[in-house]
Amino acid sequence: MPTRRWLHNPVTGEIGRVIVDPAETDGRRLEVDLWLQPGAAVAGAHVHDTLIERFEVVAGEVGFRRGADTRAVGPGEGAVEVQAGTVHDWWNAGDGVAHVRVEVAAAPAAPGRPVDRFVSMIETLWSLGALGRVNAKGMPDMLWLAAIAREYRDVMRFVKPPAAVQAALFGPLAALARSRGRVPLAGPLHGPAAPCAIPDPGEDGLAALLARPVGARAARGRA
């Protein structure tokens, strides 16, 4: 994935510009400028067992859930760091646009190139959003969800449905998903031509994208 690549999920309202590419760090670190449209929210609360995330709000107001703690953070209030294995969630908590600098790094004991896997997961979810194959929260149907959860369980776990339900159902559902063409690693979902990839919008184009409100935060009950 080339440096400075731009990605957009039009359902969750997230626009990302790659600053440091995992290809430059042996798949161990990623830095992204992330803009959140009004009403934006990540698709759901989740856990990364092999990754550490760090968020620094540059503009606007962002709500963060980190474990049992939930708070809104603005510019100059310090970074929010999410250690591996911690349940977390985040959303645009203000009425306007938010801008966040995000760093994703492999946990020290994590093997291989987990940040490459993280980027692949993001491409899958955001491409499904760009294709209109998700609900108002940005979540795909149960077959896609099972396939994604099984494929990327090394770097991401959703909190819902409960872990026991996921353990019992996601294996068989993922197999059914593959038989119906729901394949998270399918080439058309990834790379420079992925549905979520956009050209550099420029200052005016970015402003136009950011002027469009989305309904993900309201659909998630975070309004």
Residue among 208, 189, 205 nearest 197 (CA): 189
Whole-number Å distance between alpha carbons of 191 and 70? 34
In a domain, 138, yes or no: yes
pLDDT of 1-27, one tens digit each? 344 899 999 999 999 999 999 999 999
User: For the segment 114-169, what is each residue's pLDDT rounded down to a tens digit?
Assistant: 999 999 999 999 999 999 999 999 999 999 999 999 999 999 999 988 889 898 99
The residue range of the domain holding 91 is: 6-219
Total domains in the fold of the chain: 1
Other Cβ atoms closer than 10 A to 141: 13
Task: Confirm whether 66 is domain-assigned.
Answer: yes
Q: Is residue 1 part of a domain?
A: no
pTM for the full predicted model? 0.95
Letter string b/e over residues 36-69, b meaning 16 or more CB atoms within 10 A of that residue's CB: bbbbbbbbeeebbebbbbebbbeebbbbbbbeee
Q: Could you read off the pLDDT of 72-119 as tens digits, one per residue?
A: 999 999 999 999 999 999 999 999 999 999 999 999 999 999 999 999
* Residue 16, in any domain of the structure: yes
Query: What pLDDT was estimated at residue 2?
Result: 45
Contacts for 129 with CB less than 8 Å, ≥ 6 apart: 9, 10, 11, 12, 138, 196
Give the pLDDT score at 4: 82
pLDDT confidence of residue 1: 39
Mean pLDDT for the stretch of residues 43-59: 97
Q: What is the CATH number of the domain that holds 17?
A: 2.60.120.10
